[in-house]
Structure 1
Amino acid sequence: MLCCLLLWPCVTQALTPQQALALATGDGDERSAVLQAIVAAPDASSTRLLLAMKAEQVKLDPARQVLLIVAANGDMQDALTGKPLTQVPAALEDVMLNNRLRGELDQALAVLQLFAPATGSERLAAARALQQDAKIDYLPMLDMALTKEADTAVRTELALARAAALSFSPVADQRLLAAKLLGASRSPATQLLLNQRLAEETDPDVKSALKNSLRSLESTLAFGERLGALFTGLSLGSILLLVALGLAITYGLMGVINMAHGELMMIGAYATYLVHLAFRQWLPPSWFDYYLVLALPAAFLAAAAVGALMERLVLRWLYGRPLESLLATWGLSLMLMQTVRSLFGAQNVGVENPAWMSGGWQVLPNLSLPFNRLMIIVFAGLVLGGMTLLIKRTRLGLFVRGVTQNRPMASCMGVNTARVDTYAFALGSGIAGLAGCALSQVGNVGPDLGQSYIVDAFMVVVLGGVGQLAGTVYAALGLGLLNKLLEGFVGAVLAKIAVLVFIIIFIQKRPQGIFAVKGRAVEA
C-alpha cells in the first residue's frame, strides 16, 4: 500500500472531494489508492479526515456528496475544509469501515505520526505499530525516518520495525540479517512475527537463524512472565493481608468466628462508592483525584460503626460460644447483604480510580505493573504498620492484649473489659472497611463482594497462627504467591484446590499455625 513513500518530500495538491468520497464509499482498491495518495503527500485536511474516520465520526449527507465530521458534542464541520456547519442535514449516513480499511487506516496514521511534528511518545507508538504489521514496502519510509530521527528510543524501535519489514524480502541474505536483528527484540509481537516467518521460510540458514532468535526472545519473555507472576502473587497477598488483618483481631484476638467480616468489607467499599459519587456530582472536577483522602476514613468509620453495633447488640452475649457466634454472624451477613441490595440494587457499581492510580509502570515489554495494585501493596504495608503500633505501643493495645490473655485478671485490675471488647471489634471491623476501600480500586463493588474473600481470610488467620500478626503477614503473602505460581502450571481451579490441601496438611502437622502463642494463657 505504501510504495509511494519515496515521494514524501514532494508537494502535491490537497485531497480532492472526489478522493475523499472514494475513501468513504469506494471499494477496497479505491480506498487503498486514496490512502496511498494521502501518505505520499499528507496535509492537515487529509490527516484530520483519517483521524475522524478511525474514531467513526465521519458521516455522509443524504445525497452522498459531502463528508461531515461529527464532534463528540454534536457539532459538525466540513471534513475537508474544517469549517463549522450552521445548517445540519437530516438523515446522515454512517461511513462503513471493514477490517481491511481499519488496518490500512492504522498503518497510514502510524506513518503520519513518524513524520509529522509529533511528540517522542507518539513516534515511539507509531514505530511499534509498524512492527506489528510490517511489509517490505515499508523499507523506504523506515530508512527515511531513521535518517531524521534523533531520539534513541524511537530509533531502536524503528530499527526493529525495519528488521521486521526486511524479513519479508525476497532476498535470502536480507531475511537472514532480519532474523538475527529480530533476536534483539523484547516484544511479544516480535515473537508472533518470528513464528509466522519460521512457518513460511524455506531457506535452511534463515530458518536456523529464526529459531535461534526465537529461543533468545522466548527466554527473555519467560523472565518477564515469571516476574509478572511474582508481582501478581504479591498483589493478591497484599489484598489477603488487608482482608485478614481485621479478622486477626475479631477472630484471632477475641475468638469470635465472624462470618459477617466480608460484609463489613462490603460496607467499606460502598462507603467509598458514595464518597466517589459525591465528589463526581457535587464538587469541581479538579477535586475528584483526591476523593480517597475522604473515602479512607469514611470506609473505616462506616465499617467500625456497624461492627460496634454488632458487638454491643449481639456478640457480647455470645463470647465463649463459638458455634452460636458463627450462626449469629452468618445471619447478620445475610441481613447486611439484603440491606445493601435494597438500598443500592443487586447490580455491581463501579468506582473510578483517581488519575494518579490509573495506568501502569512499564518495566519490560511484556510486564506492566498497574499503579492501583502498587498503591494497594504500599497501603497494606502502612495499615499493617499502623495496626502493629496500635497493638504494641498504645493503651488500647495494652488493654486488648491483657483482656485476650487473661480476662478475669484484667477485670480485677480495673479494665472495663466490655468496653475493650467493643473497641477491639470496632477496630477489626474498621480495618475490614479499609480493605473494602482498597478492593473498590481493583474491581467492581457489589453486595456479594465479601463472599469472595471470607474463606481465604480465615485460612490466612488459621495458617498464620491465631492472634499472631506476624503469622498473618507470612500466611497472606505466602498463600498469594503460592496460588499465583501454581496457576501458571495447573490452572486457577486446581491451584485453589492444591492450596487448600496444603493448608489442611499443614494444620494437621502443626495445629497452632506458623507462629504459636508464647507464654501462659488462661481461659476465661
Structure 2
Amino acid sequence: MSIIRSLTLLLIAITMTVFPAVHAQDNDPGQTLLGNLADARPAQIEDAINAIATSGDVRARSWLDAYGNNRLSQVKDTGRIVVVLNNRGLDWTISDALTGEDLGEISRRELDRIPVNNLIRGQLDGIKAMLDLDAEDRDIRLASAESMMGKVEAPIVAPLEERLELEEDPKVRERIEAALAIYRVGEGDIEAVDVLAGSLHSRARAALNNAADSDDPELATKAKAALETIEQKLKLNKAAETLYFGLSLGSVLVLAAIGLAITFGVMGVINMAHGELIMLGAYTTWGMQQMLPDQPGLALILSIPAGFMVAATAGIIIERSVIQFLKGRPLETLLATFGISLILQQLVRTVISPQNRTVVTPEWMSGSIVVNDALSLTLNRMYVLGFALVVFAALMLIMRRTRLGLEVRAVTQNRNMARSMGIRATRVDIMTFALGSGVAGLAGVALSQLTNVGPNLGQNYIIDSFMVVVFGGVGNLWGTLIAGLSLGTINQLLEPWAGAVLAKIIVLVFIILFIQKRPRGLFPQKGRAAEG
C-alpha cells in the first residue's frame, strides 16, 4: 500500500514538473482575454480590445502592438495564442503570447491569424496611446497625449479624464485637455471651444474648422471667433520665425563679410578670393571629421582654430605672392584675386573631389527648441548666430585693446603718417590680411553646419559679402554687423512673396539707390580715415 502511495505522489510530482506552463496558462487571465479576442465576431472585437486595455495587465501593450501589426495568431491544433516573429517563407518563427517563450518555427498552415483591419488599427492607436500615459518617462507620456489629439473615442473618455487628474506635468496635462476638448467639440460641446482657442496645434484648428461649419449657429460662431484668435497668434509666430531665420542668415553674412571689411578697409584690396577662403575653412571642418569620425562634436570644436589657421596661412601666401606687388592698382588686384579663386576651386576639385561633402552635425547642435506648436528654433542656426556674435566681439576687442588693433587703425587713417611714427605698414598689411582671411575660415566652419561643403561654396557669398561691406561702411565693424543682420532679415522677409532670386535683386537695387545718397555707407569713417 505504501509503495502504491509513493508511486502516486511521484507521478503527481513529475506531472507538475513537466507541464508547468500548461497549468500557468490555465490560470493566466491573459488566456481568457486573448481567447475572447481570437473568437470575437466583428461586432465583438471592440469589446475584446477594451477588455485587454482596461485589464491592467503589463503585457496588454505588447499584445495590442502584435495584434495591430497582424502578428497575433492561434495554433489550430491547441488553440494556443502566439506572436509571429518572422513571417517569411513557409515556416514562421513564433513565441508564446503569454510567457514570451520562443517556440521555434511552425508551418504557417498550422496557424490562424487573428484578423485586423484598418478601422480597428485606428482605434488601437488611441488605446495604445492611452496605455502609454501610464509610462514613467515624461517624454513617452507627452508623445502619447499628443498622438491622441483627434483620435479620442467615447470608450476612453472616462479613463482619460481619470488619467488627467493624476497627471502632474503641465505640458502633458495641456495635451490631454486638448485631446478631450477636440472630442467634445466634435460632439457639439460649446464650452470645449474655449480650451482649443488657446491652442496652435493643427488638429485643434481642424476641429474648430469642422465646428465652424456646424449646423449649431452658436457653436459655429464661437468656433469662428476662436479661429480668428488663433490666426492672429499664428501671424505673430510666423513673424517671429521669419525674424529668427533672418537673423540667422544675417549672422552668416556677417561672418562672411567681416573679414573682408578688415582687409578692404585697411588695405583697399578687393579680394575676389575671399569666398574661397571661406571654402577652405569649411573643408578643414570636413577634414577634421574624417580624422575623428566617431567624435563629430570634438572635431567641430577643433575645427575652429584649425580653420582659422588654414585660411590665415592661405591669406598670407596670397598677400606675399600676389597682392603686395599690386598695391595701388585695384583693377589688376581684382583680376588677380579672381584668378586665385579659380585656382583654389580647381585645386580642391583635383585634390579632394568635385562632389559636395557632408559634414556631420553634432548631437548637441541637432534638433530644435520648441516654443509652441507654431514656432520652433533650430539649434544649429542658434549656435551660428551666437558664434557670429562671439567672433565679432573678439574682433572688436582685438581692434580696440591690442597693439595690432592700434596699428591697424593708424594705417587705416593715414598710412604715410603711421610709417613716419615707426609702424611697419608692411607687417600690418600681412597681419591684417591673415586676420581677415582667418575670420573667413571661421565663417566656413560655421557654414559647414548649415549647408553642404563643395568647391563652389564661397561663390554663393562673395557678392553678398561686398554688399554688406559697402552698405555698412568700408572698414567699420559695427556697420558690418548691422548691415549683415539687416540685409539677412530684409531678404528673408521678401523671399516668401517675391522668391529667392527676385528678393536678392530687390536688395541689390535698394543698395544701389542707398549709396547714391550715402556713398560711404551707414557708418562712414570720420576724420583722417575719411580723408584718406
Instruction: Please report the TM-score for the alignment, with normalisation by the length of structure 2.
Output: 0.80
Q: Is the 8 A contact 1:21 1:66 kept in 2?
A: no
Structure 2 CA distance, aligned partners of 1:404 and 1:413? 14
Structure 2 CA distance for aligned equivalents of residues 198 and 14 of structure 1: 47
- Structure 1 residue corresponding to 2:254, chosen from 241, 244, 266: 241
CA 1:161 to 1:108, structure 2 compared with 1: closer, same or farther past 3 Å?
A: same
Contact 1:77–1:83 (Cα < 8 Å) also in 2: no
Amino acid at match of 1:256: V
Aligned to 1:112: 131
**TM-fit CA distance, 1:417:** 2.6
CA RMSD, 1 decimal: 3.8
Deviations 1:441-476 (A, max 9, x none): 222222222122111111000001111111111111
Tell me which amino acid in the other structure corresponds to 2:166.
Answer: K
- Which of 13, 27, 39 does residue 30 from structure 2 map onto? 13
Please list the CA deviations of residues 153-205 of structure 1 after superposition, one character each: whole Å capped at 9, or x if unmatched. 32222111101011222xx4x2x222233113232432233223324x22211
Number of the residue aligned with 1:259: 272
Q: Is the 8 A contact 1:138 1:165 kept in 2?
A: no
Distance 1:320 1:184 in 2: 64
**Alpha-carbon distance in structure 2 between the residues aligned to 1:208 and 1:118:** 41
Verify the 8 A CA contact 1:135 1:168 in the aligned structure 2.
no
Q: Deviations over 1:102-139 (max 9, x none)?
A: 7566434322211x333223212211221144445542
For 1:149, the equivalent position in structure 2 comes to: 167
User: Which residue of the partner structure matches residue 378 of structure 2?
Assistant: 370
Q: 1:510 aligns with which of 510, 518, 529?
A: 518
Cα distance per residue 1:189-224 (max 9 Å; x no partner) = 32233223324x222111101101111111222222
2:479 aligns to what SS in structure 1? helix
User: Is 1:354 paired with 2:362?
Assistant: yes
C-alpha separation in 1, matches of 2:504 and 2:205: 31
**2:302 is the counterpart of 1:294:** yes
Matches within 5 A, 1:272-287: 272-281=285-294
Aligned to 1:306: 314
Q: Distance in 2 between matches of 1:168 and 1:403?
A: 74
Q: Is the 8 A contact 2:37 2:49 kept in 1?
A: no
**Distance in 1, Cα, partners of 2:312 & 2:43:** 67
Point out the structure with max Rg over C-alpha.
2
CA distance in 2: counterparts of 1:450 and 1:300, whole angstroms: 16
Aligned letter for 2:141? R
Give the partner amino acid of 1:13: G
| Residue 353 (structure 2) pairs with residue 345 (structure 1) | yes
Matched, 1:497 2:505: yes
Counterpart residue type for residue 247 of structure 1:
L
Cα distance, 1:52 vs structure 2: 8.1
Deviation of 1:404 after TM superposition, in Å, equals 2.8
1:162 to 2:180 alignment? yes
Aligned length: 487
- Does the 8 Å CA contact 1:304/1:426 hold for their aligned counterparts? yes
When residues 160 and 83 of structure 1 are mapped into structure 2, their CA distance, relative to the original with a 3 A threshold, is closer
1:487 to 476, 489, 495: 495
The 3 A distance-change label for structure 1 pair 85 and 476 is same
Do the aligned partners of residues 380 and 44 (structure 1) sit closer, same or farther apart at CA in structure 2, a change above 3 Å counting?
Answer: same
Q: Equivalents in 1 of 2:449, 2:408: separation in Å?
A: 32
What is the one-letter code of the residue matched to 1:495?
A: A
1:400–1:420 CA contact under 8 A, matched in 2: yes
Per the alignment, residue 397 of structure 1 pairs with 405
Unaligned runs of 5+ residues in structure 1 are 1-10, 23-27, 71-75, 92-96, 282-286
Distance in 2, matches of 1:514 and 1:235, equals 21
Contact 1:463 1:503 in 2 (8 A): yes
**Cα distance in 2, alignment partners of residues 15 and 412 from structure 1:** 101
Which structure 2 residue ranges, 5 or more long, are not aligned? 1-27, 74-81, 88-92, 109-115
In structure 2, the CA distance between the partners of 1:438 and 1:522, relative to structure 1 (3 Å rule), is closer
- Is the CA contact (8 Å cut-off) linking 1:67 and 1:79 kept in structure 2? no
Pick closer, same or farther for the CA change 1:316–1:196 going to 2, 3 Å.
Answer: farther
- Contact 1:251–1:257 under 8 Å retained in 2: yes
Whether 1:228 aligns to 2:241 is yes
Further displaced range: 339-348 or 453-462: 339-348
The residue that corresponds to 2:340 in the other structure is 332
CA contact (8 A) 1:307 1:425 kept: yes
Q: Tell which deviates more after alignment, 32-41 or 205-214.
A: 32-41
Q: CA deviation at 1:297?
A: 0.3
Tell me what 1:421 maps to: 429
Q: Residues 77 and 44 from structure 1, CA distance in 2 versus in 1: closer, same or farther, beyond 3 angstroms?
A: farther
Q: Secondary structure at the match of 2:376?
A: strand
178 and 331 in structure 1: CA distance in 2 versus 1, 3 angstrom threshold? same
Distance 2:455 2:117 in 1: 42
> How big is each residue's C-alpha offset from its partner over 1:457-513, in whole Å with a ceiling of 9 and x where there is no partner?
110000011111111111111112222223344443433222222111101111111
User: Does the 8 A contact of 1:465 with 1:472 survive in 2?
Assistant: yes
1:66-105 correspondence runs (5 A)? 67-68=84-85, 78=95, 80=97
- SS of alignment partner, residue 368 of structure 1: strand
| Match in the other structure for 1:7 | none
* Cα distance between partner residues in 2 of 1:88 and 1:408: 91
Tell me which moved more, 103-112 or 504-513.
Answer: 103-112
**In structure 2, distance between residues paired with 1:378 and 1:205:** 50
Whole-Å Cα distance in 2 between the matches of residues 98 and 452 of structure 1? 53
Secondary structure of the corresponding residue to residue 518 of structure 1: coil
Give the aligned partner of residue 459 of structure 2. Answer: 451
SS of residue in 2 equivalent to 1:223: helix
Aligned to 2:16: none
Aligned to 1:387: 395
